[in-house]
Amino acid sequence: MKKRILITGGAGFIGSHLCDFFIKEGYSVICMDNLITGSKGNIEHLLKHKNFRFVKHDVSKRIEIKGGINYVLHFASPASPIDYLKYPIKTLKVGSLGTHNALGVAKAKKAKFMLASTSEIYGDPLVHPQKESYWGNVNPVGPRGVYDEAKRFAEAITMAYHNAHNVDTRIIRIFNTYGERMRKRDGRAIPNFLDQALKGSPITVYGNGTQTRSFCYVSDLIEGIYKLLKSNINYPVNIGNPREFSIMQLARLIIKLTKSKSKIIHKPLPIDDPKVRRPNITLAKSKLKWKPKIDLKKGLTKTIEHIGEL
């Protein structure tokens, strides 16, 4: 029988790529999304596929799935500052109630469970690069706290279900990811800069641009997700590209690749914006035999080719 997988947040950027991947692998895929930040356009090409089913549902409310399920991938959540600042309560609910409900499905169906966590659980880190044993530096009452603490709670309840109910769990800490299907007004650096550069508008850099990020192309991330899912590692694992760039370096590279005439302008740095962000991927390399393959220039070029999908 076909393996059956539930992907919450399946109409989102990463979720829709996961739907594509598992359909190609021969799985029967149930994509669940309430579409507040996801888009049906991301999965339009799958809607008539015999092994694909879309269910519009808010996972913060009880989830009911008939029949067996082999895997539950919980990827539902607003994930960019522009979204979680717009939907602070919904962000907290999907991280708490939503994770609880998704874990309940996994427990009832005896399914393997994966939580999409985030590098944001490290907050504005005092340790660099960040490894999984670092507990983080998070302001729970700051504007970013609704997302950071939702994910930290989600990790805690996932481990509680593993320890108390013997649910077979995985926790992936996702670092900045980019590629086709990111929204133009996502609020994160790459889609913002690409949108501005292609319009010839000023590119907005917050602060002096010396803050750093590391950028993982989406196909590399999907491979890491699959390898972690198939592993026997129950504790958190960083998946991201350890190559670090300043925001100014990113802005200049995007201007060069798009042949834009845009100028760079500066605006004040948002509250609690991390100064550095880079994964230590020693664990993923040693245990999963995973490392990213696509560098930033190649990944951005591929993203620009599909800019119509942004």
Question: Are 268 and 283 within one domain?
Answer: no
Per-residue pLDDT of 102-116, as tens digits, reads 999 999 999 999 999
Q: Given a cut of 70, is residue 310 above it in pLDDT?
A: no
Mean pLDDT of 161-185: 95
| Res 67: pLDDT | 95
Query: Residue 54: how many CB atoms within 10 A of its CB?
Result: 19
| Res 307: pLDDT | 72
**45 within some domain:** yes
Helix H or strand E encompassing 165:
helix 145-165
Question: Are 166 and 124 within one domain?
Answer: yes
Phi, psi (degrees; rounded to nearest 5) at 308: -60, -20
Q: Report the percentage of the chain scoring pLDDT > 90.
A: 91
Catalytic machinery residues: 147
Per-residue pLDDT of 201-214, as tens digits, reads 999 999 999 999 99
Question: Are 165 and 197 within one domain?
Answer: no
Q: Please name the residue that has the structure tokens 């996502």.
A: 186
Per-residue pLDDT of 133-149, as tens digits, reads 999 999 999 999 999 99
And the tokens for 88?
């602070």
Predicted TM-score (pTM) of the model is 0.95
pLDDT band per the 50, 70, 90 thresholds, residue 70? very high
CA-closest candidate to residue 175, choices 237, 232, 227, 234: 237
Question: Are 254 and 206 within one domain?
Answer: yes
CA-closest candidate to residue 59, choices 31, 39, 87, 80: 31
- Measured CA to CA, the distance from residue 237 to residue 228 in angstroms comes to 8
Question: Are 206 and 59 within one domain?
Answer: no
- Measured CA to CA, the distance from residue 295 to residue 267 in angstroms comes to 28
